[in-house]
Homo-oligomer: A and B are copies of this chain.
Amino acid sequence: MEMTLKRRETMHRLCGKGLEIFHAKGYYNTSLDDILNELSLSKGAFYHHFKSKEDYFINIVQNLIVQKVYALLIEPLNTNENPLPVIIESLENALDPGKKNEMAYGFMLNDFLTEFNKRNEEISGQLKEILNVWEVNLVSLLKKGKLDGYIARHVDCEGVATYVIASYLGMRSLLMDSSNKQLRYQYIQQLKQYFNSIAAHNVAA
């Protein structure tokens, strides 16, 4: 039992540092030794806990990336308010490297999706599944928003979700270097513009 704790602690350290370095340098561009040296651990320790580099990264996805995406992008959608400002706020938050989001997790999804696409079916499948959950939650929030009179009746909720996700993922390619405040601001402004065009406008009110 005490041993299990030691095991968990080492695995946790490995996953945390792994995500940090994989995110900074890319999965295929990072060797296990890069990570192990940082933690003063050996190959032997690593393979005692994980059966392969792939198994290791899957652990990272399941334990860290999934959690972060849920916390930043999915749980905030569980609301009864007007969906549009809620969605904007969640995206703004996810793209903002600071406080609750020190590692710029908003950037990870597109990076890893592209890196594993066509190179590792297993991992890219899991990442796509995360996107899928996000999309489902966006769509259902938007549909509720339509029923509640926040969103115009003619709007295609699936289409909106697709468009929001695409633009969010794409920002990564533009924000590569430096957390460019200007670009982030432009993005949020245009998103607001777009959302304004699908909002229900109660002319009567």
Q: How many copies does the complex hold?
A: 2
Residues of A103-140 at the interface with B, using a CB-CB cut-off of 8 Å, are 109-111, 113-115, 117-119, 124, 128, 131
Contacts A156-B186, A186-B156 given; does A110 touch B170 at CB 8 Å: yes
Q: Does A187 contact B (CB under 8 A)?
A: yes
Residues of A158-205 at the interface with B, using a CB-CB cut-off of 8 Å, are 158-160, 162-163, 165-174, 176, 183, 186-187, 189-191, 193-194, 196-198
Q: Does A37 contact B (CB under 8 A)?
A: no
In the bound complex, residues from chain B placing their C-beta under 8 Å from that of A171 are 166, 170
Q: Does A97 contact B (CB under 8 A)?
A: no
In the bound complex, residues from chain B placing their C-beta under 8 Å from that of A118 are 24-26, 29, 176
Contacts A111-B114, A119-B29, A196-B197 given; does A190 touch B176 at CB 8 Å: no
- Residue tally, chain A, CB below 8 Å to B: 45
Docked pose: A198 CA to B197 CA in angstroms: 9
25 contacts between A and B (CB under 8 A): A25-B118, A25-B119, A28-B28, A109-B173, A110-B173, A111-B114, A114-B114, A159-B187, A162-B183, A163-B186, A163-B187, A163-B190, A163-B191, A163-B194, A165-B174, A166-B166, A166-B170, A166-B171, A166-B187, A168-B170, A169-B173, A170-B172, A193-B194, A194-B197, A196-B197
Which 6 pairs show the lowest CB-CB distances between chains A and B?
A: A170-B170, A197-B197, A166-B170, A163-B190, A169-B170, A167-B167
